[in-house]
Amino acid sequence: MKNHGYIYILTNPSFPDYIKIGYATNIEERLEQLNRSECMPFAFRVYATYEVETPLSDKSVHEIIDRLNPTLRAIETVNGKKRVREFYAMSKEEAYSLLELMAKIHNCSDKLKIIKPTAAERKEEAVAEEIEKITRGEFFSFEKCHIPKGAVLEYVKDGSITCTIVDDRRIEYDGEIMYMTTLAKMLTGKKHGIAGPIFFKYNGKNLQEYYNEFQTVENGSKVAIVSETRQDLVEPKDTIKKSDAILFLQKAGISVPKQCTFASLNKNGRYYWANPDVSVLLNDWWIVLNDNKKRELHCFLVPANTYNENQFKIRKDRNAIDFEVYYAESSFIDIRSKISFAPWRIKTIKY
């Protein structure tokens, strides 16, 4: 069977809310290609494969999924151009159920396999989960909130829509088992910035209230789940602090480190200005620009060693880059070095 290949489901602890679906004749080579990048903290791994005899293309696989649910695909517009990714906002179990359906239709269930993770992969997932807890807050736990298995939850915007708790973190809706965030995305039509528990209530009380009552941080202060609009993070004002910007981006699924370069639009509204140490060039360089006019955050990730210090203007008083990006340019050009940072922009969010 020379022409056989595999539809695959890949996961990556770096993107816990997304899975990657595609087709390859050699999965090991495909994994090697994907994992060459040093911009991701964790590697891709194969969660499941479905062996098919007819040669396919990634496009044909994606068309099948897009026809079933066109809202799952990760799509964004950068510099006026639409970028359609191979990532889908769904759990690995949901993705597997799609392949399972395909296999049953073709009477080829024996060609469908779940790949057991290696010890190293399990360790990476555990580390990523710990990071996720730190950056997004402790996972919601029904047990900690004293809400029993089998309890019925109501959707806050329509009490006739209900789901049932099946274990400590998952619920059942319309015969499918999923996380609350997954169902919240389905019901709201949103893909990002969703905190599932705030959209459901139990015995007439929002789950956020249960969380605030029973879940505390180490110092004993109450923890609040971020609201749908996220206005509880900062008070409306002309600008925001670096720590607030990082928190916004983390809630949008971007794990920006505290050591990132942060700059707000200056008072005359013409430039973003910062003086990062030249050592940022030796590592993955995270940059966050705060447009306090439009209330937007632009996030960039420049791979390590992409540039060297000779390409920038270095301050005379200390070993720091004189970094000044012109506001009106969508190319995000540093006026000192004439380098455009637009290719390294990974996300723009509103706050």
pLDDT at 227: 35
User: CA 319, 325, 328 angle in degrees (round to 5)?
Assistant: 170
pLDDT the model gives residue 226: 36
Does 236 score more than 60 pLDDT? no
Express each pLDDT in 169-185 by its tens digit. Answer: 889 999 888 888 888 88
Q: Mean of the per-residue pLDDT values for the chain?
A: 77
pLDDT at 221: 41
Write down the pTM of the prediction. 0.39
3-state secondary structure 133-171: HHHHCCCCCCCCCCCCCCCEEEECCEEEEEEEECCCCEE
What is the Cα–Cα distance from 131 to 300, expressed in whole angstroms? 20
For residue 273, give Cα distances in angstroms to 163, 287, 322. 49, 11, 8
CA distance 50 to 182: 24
pLDDT mean over 248-275: 86
pLDDT band for position 98 (50/70/90)?
confident
Instruction: Kindly write down the DSSP assignment for every residue of 190-244, as one continuous string.
Output: --SS--GGGGEEETTEEHHHHHHHH-B-TTS-B--PPPSS-TTSS-S-S---HHH
Amino acid at 62: H
Q: How high is the pLDDT of residue 217? A: 35
Average pLDDT over residues 20-27: 87
* pLDDT one-digit tens code per residue, 141-174: 888 788 899 999 999 888 899 999 999 888 999 9
Q: Does residue 251 have a pLDDT over 80?
A: yes
Task: Collapse the DSSP code of 94 into the 3-class scheme (helix H, G, I; strand E, B; otherwise coil) and give the result.
Answer: helix
Q: CA neighbours within 13 Å on the CB side: how many for 111?
A: 18
Residue 13's pLDDT is what? 77
Q: How do residues 207-230 score in pLDDT, each as one tens digit? A: 877 776 654 433 344 333 333 333
Q: Which of 10-14, 34-38, 125-129, 271-275 has the highest mean pLDDT?
A: 271-275
pLDDT in tens, 318-340: 899 999 998 766 778 888 888 88
* φ and ψ of 72, to 5 deg: -80, -25
Summarize pLDDT for 64-91 with one digit per residue, the tens. 666 555 555 555 544 565 555 667 777 8
Would you state the pLDDT for residue 32?
Answer: 87
Q: Which residue has the higher pLDDT, 277 or 17?
A: 277
84 torsion bin: left (phi>0), alpha (psi -120 to 50), beta (else): beta
Dihedrals φ, ψ of 116, to 5°?
Answer: -70, 130
